[in-house]
Amino acid sequence: MTNSSVSNLDQPPAHPPTPGWIALADGTRFPGTLFGALNPSILEAGGVQSVGEAVFTTGMTGYQEVLTDPSYCDQIVTMTAPQIGNTGINGVDNEASRSHVSGFVLTEPSPRVSHWQSDQSLHSYLVNQGVAAIGGVDTRALTLHIRTHGAQMAVLGTGDFDTLVDHARGAPSMEGRDLTGKVTCKEVHAWAEGTQGWWDGVDAIKGLQGAQPHVVVIDFGIKQNILRRLVDHGCRVTVVPSTTSSADILAHRPDGVFLSNGPGDPAAVSQGVKTVQELLGKQPLFGICLGHQLLCLALGAQTSKLKFGHRGINQPVRDEATGRIEVTSQNHGFVVDVPSLPSGVQMTHVHLNDGTCEGIAHPESQAFSVQYHPESSAGPHDSGYLFQRFVDAMTGQSVK
């Protein structure tokens, strides 16, 4: 056990504090102090340290999960909680083996770390992961600007402001980009690790009764706690790259196929949509986030980009069948267009803030999906029942 109160976790930056900017493509700038992984030659001459889509997340906790969530690939993420870094970084809460954000924006990076599991400071982690960050930013003003004017490309950097803005304007937007190749696994592998008892949902042991259904997970950028929750429910899990063909997936003889979360524009993931189309009706399908969008596209629906997305752990969703309200964890910038849902597809869940589609079911093919993250890492555990629903679908039918 590491005592994170010891002073060696409170590591100073490897370079003097450097005033910098987050510059948005619309010409707006927010000042702050750069830290994390910075290129010394760029610091000296001035220029861009990182580029990505500027977004914000409203979660008060879970910054380590944000940093390691593959769905944040190529995004500069603003944390709306005022102080970040006070619990450090540990070896337990990672959602992937490395960070996927392009940049990190904070109001106050905590100068000290205090948590019994911590093994390094936030600054040290960012340096090790090659992530540039900026602190001292008025994140409330930045968040309100994004809400008003929309998520947009941005850069972190120093020097001539007009040059920074030009670089942001020249960066490719999220629309039309398939980013799954950046975050998917490289080869087929088994996953056998569960949550080891820390998850407090009573449904975590229900699936352990009886036979062990085999789930093939298509990795479009999966969070590790999704895999752990499948194991908690008694599943034998095989993870395959996003480019795996439907024939190769079926060759594993799965009892069900899971469509994972991931980054980018779902409409650009054409191979994934084709694979899902070929899997429809073969065995139960369960998708979340990007997987939900790909399932809907495979069924004939359309997707579009939200103005600023849903990112946080306090998103209200209503189950249309029961009227039950769930507080959910979400991270997405695209959405399924409700009017485009074809006949036979039921909208099962709706977002209470804006009425967008949060879940669908297609009974004919035993497929269902949700836009949010039922593994809830970080976040509330209202939606854990969906994993048991998937297990029930698999154990109640034979593989075709």
Question: pLDDT of 76-110, one tens digit each?
Answer: 999 999 999 999 999 999 999 999 999 999 999 99
Q: How many CA atoms lie within 13 A of 217 on its CB side?
A: 31
Other Cβ atoms within 10 Å of 169 Cβ, number:
15
C-alpha distances (whole Å) from 231 to each of 131, 182, 295, 346, 354 are: 32, 25, 23, 28, 34
Q: What is the mean pLDDT of residues 142-168?
A: 97
Other Cβ atoms within 10 Å of 82 Cβ, number:
11
Q: What is the mean pLDDT of residues 185-210?
A: 70
373 included as an active-site residue = yes
Query: In terms of pTM, does the model score above 0.85?
Result: yes
Residue 191: what pLDDT? 97
Name the nearest CA neighbour of 389 among 365, 369, 364: 369
Q: How far is 149 from 308, CA to CA, in rounded Å? A: 8
DSSP-based three-state secondary structure for 23:
strand
Please provide the distance, in angstroms rounded to a whole number, between the alpha carbons at the two ends of the chain.
48
pLDDT band at 17 (very low <50, low <70, confident <90, very high): confident
Query: What mean pLDDT, rounded, does the chain reach?
Result: 92
Residue 379: what pLDDT? 84
DSSP-based three-state secondary structure for 214:
strand
Domain ranges of the chain: 7-170, 180-395
Q: What is the mean pLDDT of residues 308-332?
A: 96
Q: How far is 266 from 268, CA to CA, in rounded Å? A: 5
Q: Is the peptide bond before 268 cis (omega within 30 degrees of 0)?
A: no
Give every strand in the sheet of 346-351, ordered side by side. 189-191, 236-241, 214-219, 256-259, 285-288, 367-370, 357-362, 346-351, 303-319, 325-336
Q: Is the pLDDT of residue 400 over 50?
A: no
Residue 195: what pLDDT? 85
Residue 151: what pLDDT? 98
Q: What is the mean pLDDT of residues 359-376?
A: 96
Q: Is the pLDDT of residue 291 over 60?
A: yes
Catalytic residue (choose from 145, 233, 373, 381): 373
Catalytic residue (choose from 65, 95, 358, 375): 375
Q: What is the mean pLDDT of residues 307-331?
A: 96
Q: How many CA atoms lie within 13 A of 110 on its CB side?
A: 20
Residue 43: what pLDDT? 87
Q: How far is 191 from 107, CA to CA, in rounded Å? A: 38
Q: What is the mean pLDDT of residues 247-265?
A: 98
Q: What is the mean pLDDT of residues 129-148?
A: 98
Residue 15: what pLDDT? 57
Residue 262: what pLDDT? 98
Q: Is 322 exposed, middle or buried (0-12, 13-18, 19+ CB in 10 A)?
A: exposed
Pick the CATH number of 7-170 from 3.90.1720.10, 3.50.30.20, 3.40.50.1370, 3.90.650.10: 3.50.30.20
Catalytic residue (choose from 289, 296, 326, 351): 289
Say yes or no: domain 180-395 is CATH 3.30.70.2170.
no
pLDDT band at 209 (very low <50, low <70, confident <90, very high): low
Q: What is the mean pLDDT of residues 166-172?
A: 97
Q: Is the pLDDT of residue 14 over 60?
A: no
C-alpha distances (whole Å) from 364 to each of 280, 344, 399 are: 9, 8, 15
Residue 8: what pLDDT? 46
More confident residue, 129 or 45: 129
Q: What is the mean pLDDT of residues 119-129?
A: 96
